[in-house]
Structure 1
């Protein structure tokens, strides 16, 4: 017998038929079944905090040294390219999100627009893409935690990077089990403090960089290594822009989704894109890109020390600690929602979508998110983790744009978004092309790992999910 995925609510399926709805709810003490829905508890500020808080971590506190070592001052252009690609996808994603404000984000849109096979591959790839991204953020946290302790006079060495990252990963997983509101409140507080620190740092650093305070810096050739490294660096740092898509994964918990989802996704990309470019400009002005590149993942600590002495260094390590914490926290939340959405559609076993009665959270999905994350954290491979996450998300983003075109072409009865993409069809077509093009500039190892994950996902579809029929979008 075919396994059928039946959503709650009204609406028609993607062929226009009336969906068959069979609500069944477990009433034991552990969980609801797949027909239970998550509560809408996130406001616009919560959505922005997830988007901004996720993106700030890698982009500002982990990547400047790595990017400058690859592209020189033109690393700022790499971040700008990433922002443009992200906006080309954020706009189509916003339209789809207002038409289908469901947990799962890109998986949900692609499965309803392009079918079960594409949905399965993307849903499982999104799970692992977020796992790789979260592991990357947690390893970055470990580096900053060690540096924070060193600035406070307690030197413990880089051997503690991975253990600290593992402890925090477990802690955030437990926090997210206890309620989405708890995780969102922590996210709001971290982002507010983080933006305050960055504002002061960028103001002083910017004035110094243009020669209004301090000693004037020696101008450096903008692209000392040529154009190609700018593009390869853009592919690396694109991990920095995964936050807007993570807003879409919690669409099912967003208040007033027709208004708040587009504002949160597009707004977070614009705000963070400006911060990235400004930060790279300030950082390369402090030391020059060759020396900045030698500082690696914690280069911004030395930039802070250069501008404001030990107080500046401490402010940056604290900011890096907060940023990587917010990225990891938001990513664990989003990873679990991706698993929840896929299992709710029966593309994974339905028990993975169970919701805890006490806290109203998908506790099984959170466990399936946290476990693989901790395994990857143990590797400590920062750049590989970042690029594999970027690869899988770029595939997702390209297919989001294709799904929008497909749904606009077919116009099923249930498709009634509150927001429509300006410049259609140019914007989604450019978004799809740009997403695929960036993949071509990644290292072969990252491409192979990403492709292998997609092949395994396709194999899962063939073995487990090919009989699943997805019904309806609402």
Structure 2
């Protein structure tokens, strides 16, 4: 039991004097980090999941985004405090290791593997639809449904564009964090401009009658939709995974978290409002390219839909890039602590990136994106995200009690009310997830525990220090 409860000293997390095969380079600015957070969120809920969420909640999906945004906002404040106090790679995993002990941290790490790896797959599956829309507008032809759509959707069998997207992102990540952050910042600016275009054009066809009935499935439908779309807020966590590659992390991390959340929530709610205001909610379906069809119907012209398709293609690329980046950094931190095999912590001496780690992650994510249905991927991502977010909020309370003397670049306001509300909101959204998600999540954690007792417990750096 003592092994499972042992905590890693915060000083050790910050020292970087680990025998991990190398360290990461600090060259990411506040603007780039904010764009990294925006890049991990905007697009997921709008370009990929809106068609799945509206049938659950009707026009009330607007409230679903607001509920998810409030939950993310409460958690963002907790992340901002911990990130400014413990600016170490590994995000929730590292924070939990310092506050709740090895076992909980290890399980949080596995939740993050769900959050990032599965979300990358969930995001990538929508790429094929927008490629198809663009190729139709430009060339007048489409890819076969069998290779362009997610499995189980419109005849989809093997999602080939998703596989190509994942490996393109991995190739960019292996060039270096600075190059990836710069490319992402450019793509985020483009996607924001495209969504603003959608809002402005959509407002010309907005009819308030389309908002009635507002909650045809009741408050339960709004809650179910909020639970499903919450994975679109993982950008908060993605920011904190970059802690060891950020300039002046104690100031930059909390600012980037709060700035990105404000941008994301505002655009999410506006796009959702305009989207459901332009057509009856019954016309939304699981078609991930739904916004393109809205623009095409409103304008009667191909060019706005073509621009939106291009923006969506860029958007989904940038999101996939960021969540793959986050996944590799989580694995890097866990392997550096001995929780996973050393191959995940090896750093390429030339690019100073975890090259082998990236290749392994990319391969597994591509397989899931090609073969697993979108709704299963989205719900599993939400589960992993919500559990990790709730535990981080608890970690803030524990660290305030156990290490009050630590220098905190940012402090959660209205403590302890904000972290408690964060935990309660996360619990509410978890309850709204379907039963099969709980079964898959339990199976995932069972496998994690087996691996912990067979490998991680014995290879932990803390175990070696105890010997």
- Asked if these proteins are the same fold (TM beyond 0.5), I'd say yes
Residue aligning to 1:435: 426
Q: Note if 1:172 corresponds to 2:169.
A: yes
Q: Note if 1:158 corresponds to 2:145.
A: yes
Residue aligning to 1:323: 315
Kindly report which structure 2 residues correspond to 1:101-120, keeping only aligned pairs within 5 A, or say none. 101-120=87-106
Paired residue secondary structure (1:178): coil
Residue aligning to 1:81: 67
Q: Is the 8 A contact 1:55 1:241 kept in 2?
A: yes
Separation in 1 of the partners of 2:431 and 2:15?
A: 44
Q: Note if 1:299 corresponds to 2:290.
A: yes
Quote the offset at 1:369 in angstroms: 1.5
| 1:22–1:42 distance in 2 versus 1, CA, 3 Å | closer
| 1:204–1:343 distance in 2 versus 1, CA, 3 Å | same
In structure 1, the gaps of 5 or more residues are 25-32, 211-215
1:338 corresponds to which of 305, 309, 330:
330
TM-score (norm 1): 0.89
Q: Is the 8 A contact 2:90 2:332 kept in 1?
A: yes
Residue aligning to 2:445: 454
Quote the offset at 1:272 in angstroms: 1.0
Quote the offset at 1:222 in angstroms: 0.8
Indicate the larger mover: 343-352 or 67-76. Answer: 343-352
Quote the offset at 1:83 in angstroms: 0.4
Paired residue secondary structure (1:356): coil
Quote the offset at 1:295 in angstroms: 5.8
Q: CA RMSD in A?
A: 2.4
Quote the offset at 1:157 in angstroms: 2.7
Kindly report which structure 2 residues correspond to 1:255-334, keeping only aligned pairs within 5 A, or say none. 255-291=247-283, 293-294=284-285, 296-308=287-299, 309-334=301-326
In structure 2, the gaps of 5 or more residues are 149-158
Q: Is the 8 A contact 2:120 2:320 kept in 1?
A: yes
Paired residues, number: 447
Quote the offset at 1:366 in angstroms: 1.1
Residue aligning to 1:93: 79
Separation in 1 of the partners of 2:13 and 2:71?
A: 36
Separation in 2 of the partners of 1:372 and 1:204?
A: 39
Residue aligning to 1:126: 112
Quote the offset at 1:440 in angstroms: 0.9
Indicate the larger mover: 122-131 or 234-243. Answer: 122-131
Moved segments of 4+, more than 4 Å: 18-24, 216-219, 469-472
| 1:218–1:179 distance in 2 versus 1, CA, 3 Å | closer
Residue aligning to 1:60: 46
Separation in 1 of the partners of 2:25 and 2:211?
A: 54
Quote the offset at 1:458 in angstroms: 2.1
Separation in 1 of the partners of 2:298 and 2:412?
A: 42
Which structure is higher in RCO with an 8 Å CA cutoff and minimum separation 6?
1
Separation in 1 of the partners of 2:266 and 2:16?
A: 48
| 1:21–1:86 distance in 2 versus 1, CA, 3 Å | closer
Separation in 1 of the partners of 2:14 and 2:250?
A: 26
Separation in 2 of the partners of 1:120 and 1:347?
A: 7
2:201 corresponds to which of 204, 217, 221:
204
TM-score (norm 2): 0.90
Indicate the larger mover: 183-192 or 62-71. Answer: 62-71
Paired residue secondary structure (1:201): helix
| 1:324–1:178 distance in 2 versus 1, CA, 3 Å | same
Q: Is the 8 A contact 1:123 1:338 kept in 2?
A: yes
1:195 corresponds to which of 192, 216, 219:
192
